[in-house]
Amino acid sequence: MNNEPNSSRRILDAALQLFSEKGYEATSTREICELAGITKPTLYYFYKSKEGVYRELVRNTLHELTDPVDAALSTPGPLREKYYKFAEIIFEDATRRPQLWRFIFSIVWATTFPFRSDVHDFYNEGIRRIAEAANDAAAKGEIRQGDTEVRMLVLMGALAEALSNYLVMGRPKLTRSLANSIIDTVFDGWSPVTTGIQA
């Protein structure tokens, strides 16, 4: 059937809107179907249940989160340039697709749902790769040695604060300048200490 891919996509788009606005528990299968303009049998055909729709959205979202990390860490140049790229990519994406990022935050903060541990494992793997890049830079003397776990808390905490404030209150605007300023502020605390006699 030619309309199958369109129906499938409409279901996911409708569910994303509703889940990001109301949450999983407060969203009914009927609401998803009404917003998507499809019947319940069509939803069941593609996803079996509301949980099946949610599971597919989570799976797609995990792939969405992979791209910024991969693109940033493959950027040539020093660590600061890689982190600039990472922050710029996620800020641009959150500005373009705020519903997706509200959904991402709902997943990260969720304490109960059937595949919570899979999502958190995926998130932790992304952090591990970002931290590994910092450790490599420290080994080269590009940044000074430091507690990697604390560094990740500071870096990701600053970025998450900007993202969540934008998604909830509409400010600050997630500009390239803000992304770079956050990275610069973090890196100022990581810069190698230079010694010398002041004139």
Would you identify the CATH topology of the domain 1-48? Arc Repressor Mutant, subunit A (1.10.10)
Q: Which ranges of 97-175 does DSSP label H, i.e. alpha helix?
A: 98-109, 116-139, 148-169
Domain ranges of the chain: 1-48, 57-188
Cα–Cα–Cα angle for 181, 187, 188, rounded to 5 degrees: 90
13-69 confidence digits (pLDDT tens): 999 999 988 888 889 999 999 999 999 999 999 999 999 999 898 888 878 778 778
**How confident is the model at residue 25, as a pLDDT?**
85
Q: How far, in Å, are 4, 55, 136, 145, 187 from residue 79 at the CA level? A: 45, 34, 9, 14, 10
**How confident is the model at residue 115, as a pLDDT?**
62
Q: Which of 75, 74, 56 is nearest to 64 (CA)?
A: 56
CATH number among 3.50.50.60, 3.30.1960.10, 1.10.357.10, 3.40.1710.10, domain 57-188: 1.10.357.10
Mark the ranges of the chain whose per-residue pLDDT is less than 70.
Answer: 1-5, 110-116, 193-199
**How confident is the model at residue 197, as a pLDDT?**
46
**How confident is the model at residue 198, as a pLDDT?**
47
